[in-house]
Structure 1
């Protein structure tokens, strides 16, 4: 039998963290973080990381497990989260995965690879391009051969752009470029109840903007400055919304108001992409708008009871 798990997904600022805690309290569960930025220590305000007070005693896993300069890939998350599911299940508790990073959650739930969907990393591409120009295309291709011989066998050394993309995928995801198959059948790995949270678009955007304002009041600027001073612009941690927008400000290229507006804009855009991702890629068990009425929460609780076999 497959392990039973609960998954809560949806856009930023929609209430995923709070629901995860409520379900864990009601059904003796533990939360596994499914957000790519909350794994980093020190990135607390900008990632809306759950505080001890908010957690209400509920155990949260895969939070604060990496230093900001360290990489953390999709495959790393899949391995770590799968291990946590085993541990939690062995304790007769319910694993509850909470997060909005679609690639992470999908990699955990299904037997799929996301190599072809790695986000572009311009700094990495520039370094690889420079390596090809200074040392030759063959050096770059040998680098790919060492990391992914199957991909190297299919990509000609003269196709520098494709070689760089393959190396970029490996760098960003930790997975071989050759492992990606766009039409790969998604095989479920768990007995999953997947809850998608949503909200009316205007209200969601209002919540996002208010949250950014509260983050600024709580010290987001100082948190971002410390990160910018600590890691390189190529680090995965600094690519997160709420941090990368302050890089131009730190260089004197924009004022604080412009930086904050960028955080809000990027957060709204991200929320839209998240909703599209989960609607198109996930066969969700149910969608719930917890901002609309109390009945939505009752429906969620009823679905969980049925899923885990409780009256």
Structure 2
């Protein structure tokens, strides 16, 4: 059976370059599974492909909304389903690439629970503000009132979330408010399992090598103008969405702009947070049926392997 190739992996693992090579060899479009690359004008910190690369290969679900707008998983799933219908109608081949694994989960399961993220944006905004107000003045969020609220209402869901995971904590409380059921019970009520339509691939990169690549990429981003991009986010912090304000690569520089931290410390903080994010991605990936690819193999060999696995091209 033919399947759609999905290239996933932690930040800085090399998935974008692999996806570009595969797309060019197979005359395919690329669909982004990245929750931050959707925002216009946030290019360096989100590691978007270059204009030249986007000219060579058609990319979808990148630069689709301004940073002032909120964008939920339900919004993504709706956009994805419409896009797939268009591509199939025009008989265009496509592949998926990205590190936002919650997007992958939504696609696999056509997850019904995501629809409730459309419910009551005022409630979501209230929770986000309460959470961030506490976070701005405390070293950790273990006693954050919003997190403690989830602990009381849905201890099972709270137990698997990090206290710093504002987005998922707020989403869980939204689910409870909208359904009167705990998020831990609701989130697995899938409409259907479509995982058989996709085949997952990722580089089998050693942890030490990955962390070194992350540290180096942060330095390259800074040289490319990340500081100016982060300052833009900071200066528009009263207008931009909470997703942008909490995004890795931007929030780490806020203390620097406020004179509370030196630039070197801010850069080190970004490197640390990026490594922690990669660690969380790897933890989730361990539960997925991934075909791991050798990092030292020739790209032509890797592409042939992917094509054979998917029986698509």
Q: Same fold (TM over 0.5)?
A: yes
Residue of structure 2 in register with 1:47 after alignment: 46
For 1:159 and 1:194, the matched residues in 2 are separated by 33
Deviation at 1:254, TM superposition (A): 0.7
Deviation at 1:258, TM superposition (A): 0.7
**Counterparts in 2 of 1:6 and 1:82: CA distance versus 1, 3 Å:** farther
**Counterparts in 2 of 1:126 and 1:43: CA distance versus 1, 3 Å:** closer
Deviation at 1:231, TM superposition (A): 2.9
Normalised by the length of structure 2, the TM-score is 0.76
Residue of structure 2 in register with 1:204 after alignment: 210
Residue of structure 2 in register with 1:293 after alignment: 297
For 1:217 and 1:8, the matched residues in 2 are separated by 28
For 2:32 and 2:173, the matched residues in 1 are separated by 22
Single out whichever of 103-112 and 57-66 deviates more from structure 2.
Answer: 103-112
Once the two structures are superposed, the pairs formed by residues 104-119 of structure 1 within 5 Å of their partners are 104-112=103-111
For 1:300 and 1:279, the matched residues in 2 are separated by 23
Residue of structure 2 in register with 1:151 after alignment: none
Runs of 5+ unmatched residues, structure 2: 118-123, 134-148, 159-167
Residue of structure 2 in register with 1:22 after alignment: 21
For 1:298 and 1:266, the matched residues in 2 are separated by 34
- The answer to whether the 8 Å contact 1:198/1:288 transfers is yes
CA radius of gyration, larger in: 1
Q: What is the CA RMSD across the aligned residues, in angstroms?
A: 3.4
**Counterparts in 2 of 1:251 and 1:188: CA distance versus 1, 3 Å:** same
Once the two structures are superposed, the pairs formed by residues 159-198 of structure 1 within 5 Å of their partners are 162=153, 168-169=170-171, 176=178, 178=181, 181=186, 183-184=188-189, 187-188=193-194, 191-198=197-204
Residue of structure 1 in register with 2:143 after alignment: none
Deviation at 1:160, TM superposition (A): 11
Q: Which residue, out of 269, 274, 279, partners 1:262?
A: 269
**Counterparts in 2 of 1:77 and 1:172: CA distance versus 1, 3 Å:** farther
